[in-house]
Amino acid sequence: MECGAAGGFSEEQFREACAEIQQRAPAGANWELLVETLGFSIYGLLDQQTGLYEYKVFGVLDDCPPALLADVYMDLDYRKQWDQYVKELYEKECNGETVVYWEVKYPFPMSNRDYIYIRQRQELDVEGRKIHVVLAQSTSVPQFAERPGVIRVNRYKQSLAIESDGKKGSKVFMYYVDNPGGQIPSWLINWVAKNGVPNFLKDMAKACQNYLKKT
């Protein structure tokens, strides 16, 4: 199937993610530390209009090397095996860009959400340090029409930066903003975001160990 996606990511966006992983905490006075859990520090920046946060996550995943972690994150078929919230997940090549369709299971009585997004991975050398960066953001293409009973998420953006922790693990930085829409109160969305991402990263670390066995 041919698609008509446009866009992509600039070199500056990749460099920004690299800079974040070196800071270990957000720059700017408006970012607040929301929670420290499972070895991660999660910071939030409140959008006064929507009541939703943008998030930055800093932490370490032991025993999961950077290249392996990036491979697992990019492997959508494998994610369907370890991420219990995936209903449907696949990618299409669209005019030289990879467009991903992702449907997420939500608990009853809420409707499932789906995402259409582009992503790119780069490996950068920053003063002799190797940093893996994956960027993703929502896009819109006519070939992915909205489905009955599923709410389309139109505002989604994520950055992931990974480098060695100097041992056998990975230092991780993640930025994300996700407005799932519908009639979900902002406090519940924020609660899920604060708790869900550390658990997702921990699940991904476990998936790394099984990925080694699989390969």
| pLDDT at residue 94 greater than cutoff 80 | no
What pLDDT, on a 0 to 100 scale, did the predictor assign at position 1?
39
42: left (phi over 0), alpha (psi -120 to 50) or beta: beta
List phi, psi (to 5°) of 97. -115, 150
What beta strand segments (E) does 139-202 contain? Answer: 150-153, 155-164, 170-179
What pLDDT, on a 0 to 100 scale, did the predictor assign at position 3?
44
Higher per-residue confidence, 105 vs 196: 105
Q: Is the pTM of this model over 0.75?
A: yes
Count Cβ atoms below 10 Å from residue 109 Cβ, excluding itself: 5
The single residue listed with the structure tokens 């860009």 is 97
What pLDDT, on a 0 to 100 scale, did the predictor assign at position 7?
52
Read off the pLDDT of residues 1-15 as tens digits, 9 standing for 90 and up: 344 444 579 999 999
Q: Which of 182, 204, 193, 171 is nearest to 76 (CA)?
A: 204
CATH of 11-212, one of 3.30.530.20, 3.10.105.10, 3.40.50.880, 3.40.80.10: 3.30.530.20
